[in-house]
Amino acid sequence: MREMLNPTSVLTGMGLDKSVALLTDGRFSGATQGACIGHISPEAREGGNIALIKEGDIIEIDIPKRTINVKLTEEELDKRRKAWKCPAPKVKSGYLARYAY
């Protein structure tokens, strides 16, 4: 897990910390600012809605309610889910393979 202080600092330095969210499996330090959401790979790896997102999709993040929703119809999500294939793990041996899925 990479430390996300550098990417979040860059977003803040560019003045984007109020309009850009960072979704990652990286870890956050106590200095992280802005909308930063971690531990997303289990849903993505299991074919959840995060795995179905494409560039240009609108994502709604409601921090107080702790929800993330992609603004797509159920029909579009079903279509993408049928076409989705689980990617093969990049690491297949050694200690990292234990965490590949």
DSSP lists the bridge partners of residue 61 as 68
Which tokens is 74 given?
């159920």
Residue 41: active-site member: no
Alpha-carbon distance 25 to 93, whole Å?
21
* Set 9, 19, 29, 41: catalytic member: 29
What CA–CA distance (Å, rounded) separates 101 from 91? 10
Number of helices followed by number of strands (H, E) in the chain: 4, 4
Q: Using alpha carbons, select from 70, 12, 15, 71 the residue that is nearest to residue 36.
A: 12
Q: State the catalytic residues.
A: 29
